[in-house]
Chains A and B, each alone.
Chain A
Amino acid sequence: MVVGGLRRALTRRAQDTTPTFRREDRGAAAVEFAIVVIPLLYLVFGIINYGYMLAFRQSVSQAAAEGARAAAVAPAGLPEADLRQRAAEAVDGALESYDVSCEVTSGLLMHGDEESGTCQITGPVTCSGSTTGAQCMRVELDYTYADDPLLPDVGYGIVLPDHLKFASEVQVS
């Protein structure tokens, strides 16, 4: 009884399908999916791209602060060049994972071998706003993200910032 019912159901289902209808719809779902999935993937990669930029922006502020900190905690009496070198090394340490480094002599931020902004480590000079003649070091990073995005730019530049900047100025004596 059960076997007979199943056979009838299968037979009816097979008869309901006409060859004409199959030709019209075959692949339509795939095409629709392709049309939809492309913008979806674009959005997904956009999220990744934006998130990566934000992570890098955090590293830029961390790098500037670390560079300033390295100069601040250096022993008193250290030559100025050594202070700047210490700051640059701290910046490099913070940005190393992005293959970004600071060239203290040229004042450039390098992404690999490409110039990707500026890395100005200046001082010691009188701290701005100081009434006691305190000396400060300034670490100023400016990464031109629009020119050298860390991930491939496939039109996301509209929503991504042109520059990622952060500056820290700390007293060294």
Chain B
Amino acid sequence: MRHLLTRGRCAPRPAESAEERGAIALLAAALIVVILGIAAITVDAGMQRVGRRDMQAIADIVSLDLARLVNGRTAQEIRSGTPGFAPLESARDASVERNSADVVGEDLEVRAYLVKLDDAGEFERDADGAPLQVGALDRPDAVVVVADASVGFGFAPIFGISEGGVARESVGANGESACLRIGTLALGLARETGSVDAVLSEALGTDRLDFHVLVGAEVALRDLDRGLDELAPGGAADLATVPLDSLVVALRGALPATSPARDLLDELANELAPDVAAARIDVAALLGLSQGAGSTSTLRVDVLDLLAGAAFAVHGTDPIAVPGLDLAFPAASGLPDLTDVEATLSVGQRTQVGCSPGTATAESSRVRLEVTGGLDVRVPETDPVARVRGPVRLSLTLADVVAGLQAVTCDERGLPRTMSVSVDEAAPARVDADLSGLRVVELGDGGATTPLEGLIVSAAQRVTEHDFLLDLPRAYALGAVVAASPNRSLPEVTAADLDALGIDLAAVEGPVLRGALNPLVRALDGLAFEQVAPALGLRVSGVTLTAVRTPSCAGPSLVG
């Protein structure tokens, strides 16, 4: 049985063999048809894809070219042309002519639409799906370019289809660009005073150096980048994290040979404390720049600001003490009842640069002043007369400001004219008072003594927002613009603030508020605005905004 089965499987009958003859040929014919079909689809669909890619390429390039025309002029002006700018149609044709030589496809047609983008970067379309153009007197902010052609098929004509259309779309906008430096604190404003030397020397662990020679010294970020590359051969990443001593050397190399700042940086490189010298600094993060933002290469960086930022970065979030700042507190504040005063001033965070309108923000650095002392004050206004005494600890924080670069406006010639900046003073000045050691003693026979255990009070200047429009000089001679705020003092603490603490202070709120707390707040107010701020060059409730690279109106980009 097994033998028979085996024979039956392996040896076909003559009749079946005769039937199967030619089966391979049939199979091959079928496969060839299938494969040729696949080949036909490959060729035709592939050419379609190439045509689409070419349409995208030409749409992108033409929209980039035409985006330069969208510079704040009306649609009518763009279409008809103004001095220095070709009419839209001829600019489009010239761009197409330059870029269409190798394009796959026939009957190439390129259309340009002047549109207005909404907040999401979208534009409206008409009933046919075409971009909805702005009116003649409206000012578009983008141009939509549609490239359309037909690609002939090689095999599809068998089925009566001779060609297929390919169309791609691209949206170009003319983004203005600028960079903003906020200098609420910082050392950038302290250049006229001695505090910059004290702070930087302390932060960098050196003897007191004359950092004032760095004032006004600038380097091109590109040169700095090259210098860092030379110091770290093989390093692929631009502006990568580098040791602080390498940054100092690179800064020196990027300065002009005649700059006196080079000697100071030489001296600094030799005197850096070892741990500080080895600390790694992320230069790009320090400047608030992102790679590929298109704004880094021409940026010029203030050496003093960068060095100060690096010094703060070394210390992380730890504040840096400011030694030698002689504060006349409380003598000059009209509060002689505070004794054994100890004041510590520190600065933290860093100066920042922000670029890219609409998204960039720059945050100021922060100054923190700690004052401790013993208070012993008689409050005659209360009935019965009370005396407030005990240790107090006051903490004053200044300059917590965020500035955002909103927009750069351009004139009809495509030159930047204004730069609008919003400033959000989240807490430009704030006092935290720890009064938990105070006691209120009613004078006279049987006067009660009320401890204020757990009493910690905060008073902050109210949050403000300002919008500033900076007039950009024609020659781009960039300078500082000071924006002053009318709110320039700390608010008085009220009974409501005390109630909010959940402590029953009805009996003592008069003495506490009138006799102790608010005089202290006023004293601190005077200390902040009349002593600390001038000493550090700080403008509380005001910021110094500086455009740190030439604002440009000609920054075309693809936005869709």
Q: Which A residues fall within an 8 A CB radius of B?
A: 7, 10-11, 13-14, 16-18, 21-22, 25, 29, 32-33, 36, 39-40, 43-44, 46-47, 50-51, 54-55, 57-58, 61-62, 64-65, 68-69, 72-78, 82, 127-132, 134, 136, 138, 165-171, 173
Contact = CB atoms under 8 A, between A and B. Distances in A.
Contacts of B27: 36
Contacts of A29: 20, 24
The binding surface of chain A is classed by DSSP as helix
Contact of B14 (A17, A57, A168, A170): A17
Interface string B525-560: 000000000000000000000000010101111100
B307 to A, nearest CB: 24
Interface string B1-35: 10011011001111101001000110110011001
Contact of B17 (A11, A25, A46, A131): A25
B98 interface: yes
A16 B556 contact: no
Contact of B54 (A61, A76, A127, A170): A61
Interface string B221-237: 01000000000000000
Nearest to B47: A54
Contacts of A167: 99, 101-102
Given A14-B8, A43-B35, A51-B46, A168 B57 contact: yes
Contacts of B480: none
Given A16-B14, A50-B39, 19 more contacts: A14-B4, A14-B8, A33-B24, A36-B27, A40-B28, A47-B42, A54-B50, A58-B50, A61-B57, A65-B58, A73-B555, A76-B552, A127-B98, A130-B86, A132-B84, A134-B86, A169-B98, A171-B68, A171-B95
A64 B58 CA distance: 10
Contacts of B12: 17, 25
Contacts of A57: 50
Given A74-B297, A75-B297, A168 B556 contact: no
Contacts of B85: 132
Nearest to A36: B28
Nearest to B101: A167
B78 interface: no
Contacts of A173: 554
B43 interface: yes
Nearest to A63: B57
Contacts of A51: 42, 46
B294 A73 contact: yes
A65 B39 contact: no
Given A32-B24, A131-B90, A167-B101, A75 B298 contact: yes
A65 B32 CA distance: 39
3 closest A-B pairs by CB: A129-B94, A54-B46, A65-B57
A169 B61 contact: yes
B47 A69 contact: no
14 contacts: A13-B8, A17-B7, A36-B27, A51-B42, A61-B50, A62-B53, A64-B57, A65-B57, A74-B294, A75-B177, A76-B298, A132-B84, A138-B98, A167-B101
Interface in B39-80: 39, 42-43, 46-47, 49-50, 53-54, 56-58, 60-61, 64-65, 68
| Most chain A Cβ neighbours within 10 Å, of B15, B27, B57 | B57
A61 B13 CA distance: 61
B333 interface: no
| Most chain B Cβ neighbours within 10 Å, of A32, A33, A75, A169 | A75
| Most chain A Cβ neighbours within 10 Å, of B50, B90, B297 | B50
B128 interface: no
B108 to A, nearest CB: 14
Contact of B558 (A44, A69, A136): A69
A36 B99 contact: no
A67 to B, nearest CB: 10
Contact of A77 (B25, B57, B58, B550): B550
Contacts of B47: 54
A5 B417 CA distance: 104
Contacts of B98: 127-129, 136, 138, 169
Contacts of B215: none
Contacts of B385: none
A69 B64 contact: yes
Nearest to B52: A58
A60 B202 CA distance: 56
B64 A130 contact: no
B97 A128 contact: yes
Contacts of B46: 50-51, 54-55
B555 A75 contact: yes
A38 B160 CA distance: 32
Given A73-B556, A75-B555, A169-B99, A32 B25 contact: yes
A30 to B, nearest CB: 9
A17 B13 contact: yes
A109 to B, nearest CB: 15
B38 interface: yes
B328 interface: no
Contacts of B222: 82
Contact of A46 (B20, B39, B297, B550): B39
A122 to B, nearest CB: 12
Nearest to A33: B24
B295 interface: yes
A11 B7 CA distance: 10
Nearest to B23: A29
| Most chain B Cβ neighbours within 10 Å, of A33, A46, A72 | A72
A13 B3 CA distance: 12
B341 interface: no
Contacts of A138: 98
B136 interface: no
B278 interface: no
A78 B297 contact: yes
B24 A47 contact: no
B49 A68 contact: no
B102 A130 contact: no
B130 interface: no
A47 B57 contact: no
Given A13-B8, A76-B554, A50 B43 contact: yes
A69 B42 CA distance: 30
Contacts of A22: 11
Contacts of B478: none
Contact of A73 (B5, B15, B64, B101): B64
